[in-house]
Structure 1
Amino acid sequence: MGTNTDAAQYAGNGQVRGADKSWSGEVDSKLGVQGTFKANAMFSGTVQLLSKQNGEGNFTPELEWAFAKAQITPSLALRLGRMGGPFFAVSDFRDVGYANTWVRPPMDVYGQVPFSNFNGADLNFQTNTGLGTLSAQLFGGQGRTTVARTKVDFKKMLGFNATLEMDNGLSLRVGHLQGRLTAHTTTLAGLVALIRTTPFTSTANELDPTDKKATFTGLGATWDSGNWIVSGEYTQRRTDTYAADTDAWYLTLGHRIGKFTPYGTVSQLKHVDSNVTNVIPAATPQLAQLKATVDGFVASQHRAQKTWALGLRWDAYRNVALKAQVDRVKPDGPGFFINQQPGFGTGASVNVYSLAVDLVF
């Protein structure tokens, strides 16, 4: 992967190193191994190890999935352990490049939630209806991840998903989750403590990232006719802390021509609310400096950008797909770019060039 700028780096969710004019293979490189063990007709287990650049900047393999499953009835299943976070339409295979048309799921949407798994339980129900197959999932537990070397917890997680797969190739999905978010950042903790020594504690309370409510809602639709592929999602993120409220959407259109699938995607991430009102006045040099520090931190959390992407997938062999993709990203502020230089995000678009080889064994 490479871009046409050195003013910032294009990176995956929570990563600390990305790509600029110096091409990098670290953003999208992943290696996973999965095994399923069946004890009998009722009980089974699944384990998945995944290596990719994480929020600490290394590729240490991590236990992505590790759960036991009980098939209580033909239509009802219970799982316990570590499972993929069912937050998006392609959550279960977002890291399996071969299973996706794109090089990577659209960042404008999928970059909103840094958690890829959670520890807990879920209950899955599936039944046939007059419209198609209906799948419903209830889940709860807690998750932990690292975003740019900052530990983030999501506790008291509770959510649901429902998907309707119709015989005509149309699939509809709705999902929602809520929980309590905590970011373990000493820098922000120090800033919050300093503001609380002033009369402007309301700003400190809004900045404080400890045990704050967060919700995420998603709607999705996919139509696969065999030759044509149309997919889209609309999502909303809301929090009671400094992590900005955002809305996002994408729409993908692809057409299979033999072993080749050209496709295009347009997506957008909108900044809705910073959730922080800076009431600190610039009455003294010390307060002016504190006010500027808060303003700078809030600005660094501004998440807004729009992306146009064109790509081509070639299914060269039964288990090998080659992909080329060009994204034109127009950020408003930092967007999802990292290591920005002064002035980045003031209107200029960035071209992102990607080549990928996806294999399954």
Structure 2
Amino acid sequence: MRFNGNHGSRPWIRQALSAAIATMAGLSPQAGSAQDFSFSGFATLALGKTSGACTEGALAGQYNLGCTRYIADWGHAGVYRDSWSAKQETRAGLQGTLTFSPELSATAQITARTLKDQHLNLEWLYMSYKLSPSTTLQVGRKRLPLYYYSDFQDIGYAYNTVRPSPDVYGWEVVNYNGASLSHNSSYGDLTVRSELLLGSENSRDNPYTKLVYDEAKDVRWSGIGGFTVEASYDWFTGRLSYIRSKLRQTDRATGSVDVDSGGKHQTFIGLALNADVGSWIVRTEFGRSDREAVGYKARYYLATAGYRWGDFTLTAGSSNYLETAYPDAGYVPVKLRSHLLALRYELHKGGALKLQIDRVRDQGTPAYVGNSRLLSASYDLVF
């Protein structure tokens, strides 16, 4: 999802982004700046604090401090504790597209976060070529489309809660380097978009693994392949996804292999069923993963219902994440169940304030993160 507009009052941003994209695409900045260029941006200022009875969790030492804790962002290791903090989810990003011809363009997105060691990341850098009016080939670095919100998960303004449910959203890998082929078609009022993809990703000093290990780990997903199909008809949108890859995890200091899937693939299947009927907004996602190399299978879902009146939107929902261990794997399954209540206020065009209460029940034995309540607020902006 992109939020474009006329930004003629900021020519220096246009010129800098245009030159950067042209340089990364292997062109001279002078050649790139002469092309048609557009850009957009987003930002989120979020803060939160957990509360509840003191419980002991099983996270790595730096994340297991305090009485209570809440994992808001698994992929970037954003964990709230029982003191107010704004570093876990605060972020800003810029996206630019340099168009060389009606068929050929280059897109880049950089995102800055306030989390330690994750201040600036290149999220997207890909070339697009239209093979036909309905078929597009993209090559480069993109978001891995595991979920309905994957492409615009960082853009908080795009959804009505402070964050998509962490019970569903979050694995070691967020992006991939490779190629995708997408096709759009229409059948009367029904529109269908399908995409095939392949690639790989190397994540050095992986943030996700820091939740579990005190030592730094490198994670590689190789042989990534899969597809997504999204269909829209009037008030209904449905999405099906299937992604698989091989997994290898190594200790960054010693180089020793901790996890290796060998010839076996891990798989991720997702289904989203969404509805927008009048003032009502319904969002659901269901998924399952099979990660034999790590020792477990997982099932997860989220379901929210919202009602919009004027500039306000009230949303309530629940989510669940349940692991099942493979026999003799020696793995302790994680079992989380959550509920949320969120209020969004459209402060101005392109800007929204949100207030949200989450309650998490950790049903694992022993507990992984422990029970907690989270009070959080955010200001989301697009420009």
The TM-score normalised by the length of structure 2 is: 0.76
Check whether the contact 1:222–1:231 (CA below 8 A) recurs between aligned residues.
yes
1:29 paired with 2:90, answer: yes
Distance 1:261 1:75, change over 3 A: same
- Report how far residue 170 of structure 1 moved: 0.3
| Corresponding residue SS for 2:167 | helix
CA displacement at 1:100 relative to structure 2: 1.1
Q: 2:275 aligns with which of 223, 226, 237?
A: 223
| Aligned-partner Cα distance in 1 for 2:69–2:372 | 10
Report whether the alignment pairs 1:2 with 2:69.
no
Between structures 1 and 2, the one with greater strand share: 2
Please tell me whether the aligned partners of residues 189 and 208 of structure 1 are also in contact (alpha carbons under 8 angstroms): no
Residue 350 in structure 1 maps to residue 381 in structure 2:
no
Shift of 1:177: 1.0
**Which one of the candidate residues 199, 203, 217 is aligned to 1:141?**
199
39, 44, 52: which one aligns with 2:113: 52
Look up the match of 2:230: 163
From 295, 298, 302, give the equivalent of 1:250.
302
Partner of 1:201: none
Alpha-carbon distance, 1:333 to partner: 3.1
Using the TM superposition, name which of 244-253 and 8-17 deviates more: 8-17
Q: Are 1:309 and 2:361 matched, yes or no?
A: no
Q: Which runs of 5+ in 2 are unaligned?
A: 1-47, 53-65, 211-215
2: distance between equivalents of 1:45 and 1:144? 22
Q: 5 Å matches for 1:259-274?
A: 259-273=311-325
Shift of residue 140, structure 1, vs aligned partner: 0.3
Q: Displacement of 1:150 after TM fit?
A: 2.2
Aligned to 1:153: 220
Note the C-alpha offset of 1:49.
Answer: 0.2
Q: Distance in 2 between matches of 1:120 and 1:28?
A: 28
For the residues of structure 2 that align with 1:142 and 1:243, how far apart are their CA atoms?
22
Q: Which residue of 2 aligns with 1:183?
A: 249
The separation in 2 between residues aligned to 1:212 and 1:178, in whole angstroms, is 10
Determine if the alignment matches structure 1 residue 277 to structure 2 residue 328.
Answer: yes
Q: Deviations over 1:234-266 (max 9, x none)?
A: 100101212531000111100110110000111
Whichever residue aligns with residue 236 of structure 1, its letter is R
- Per the TM alignment, residue 188 of structure 1 is displaced from its structure 2 partner at its CA by 11
Instruction: Go from structure 1 to structure 2 and tell me whether the alpha carbon gap of 1:81 and 1:260 turns closer, same or farther (over 3 Å shift).
Output: same
Code of the residue aligned with 1:177 in structure 2: it is I
Aligned mates of 1:211, 1:188 — CA distance in 2: 24
Match of 1:314, SS state, is strand
User: CA 1:50/1:242 → structure 2, altered by over 3 Å: closer, same or farther?
Assistant: same
CA separation of 1:41 and 1:208: change in aligned 2, threshold 3 A: closer
Task: Compute the displacement of 1:44 (Å).
Answer: 0.6
* CA 15–144 in structure 1, closer or farther in 2 if over 3 Å, else same: same
Aligned to 2:127: 68
Percent sequence identity over aligned pairs:
27
> What is the root-mean-square deviation in Å for CA atoms of aligned residues?
2.3
Aligned to 1:174: 240
1:333 has 2:364 as partner: yes
Return the alpha-carbon distance in structure 2 between the equivalents of residues 131 and 263 of structure 1. 29
Distance 1:188 1:241, change over 3 A: farther
Inter-partner Cα distance in structure 2 for 1:52 and 1:218: 27
Instruction: Give the equivalent residue in structure 2 for 1:321.
Output: 352
**How much has 1:344 moved relative to structure 2?**
4.8
Compared with structure 1, are the counterparts of its residues 16 and 73 closer, same or farther at alpha carbon in structure 2 (3 Å cutoff)? closer
Paired letter, 2:312: F
Separation in 2, partners of 1:265, 1:188: 44
**Which residue number corresponds to residue 290 of structure 1?**
none
State the distance in 2 between where 1:184 and 1:272 align. Answer: 24
Within 1, Cα distance between the matches of 2:298 and 2:263? 19
- Secondary structure of the residue aligned to 1:19 is strand
Distance 1:345 1:73, change over 3 A: closer
For residue 184 of structure 1, report the CA deviation from its aligned partner.
1.5
Which amino acid is 2:356 matched to?
Q
The answer on whether the counterparts of 2:68 and 2:82 sit within 8 Å (CA) in structure 1 is no
Q: Does the CA contact (< 8 Å) of 1:244 and 1:303 recur in 2?
A: no
1:82 Cα offset (Å): 0.3
**Gaps in structure 1 of 5+ consecutive residues:** 193-206, 279-294, 335-342
The separation in 1 between residues aligned to 2:114 and 2:250, in whole angstroms, is 20
Structure 1 pair 191–79 and aligned structure 2 pair: CA distance change class (3 A) = closer
- Rate the CA distance shift 1:39–1:107 in 2: closer, same or farther, 3 A: same
In structure 2, relative to structure 1, the CA distance for the partners of 1:267 and 1:187 (3 Å cut) is farther
Question: Helix, strand or coil: the match of 1:110?
Answer: coil
- SS of 1:86's equivalent? coil
Q: Does 1:359 align with 2:376?
A: no
Q: How far off is 1:213 after superposition? A: 1.8
Q: 2: CA distance between counterparts of 1:270 and 1:187?
A: 32
Structure 1 residues 53, 311: CA separation in 2 closer, same or farther (over 3 Å shift)? same
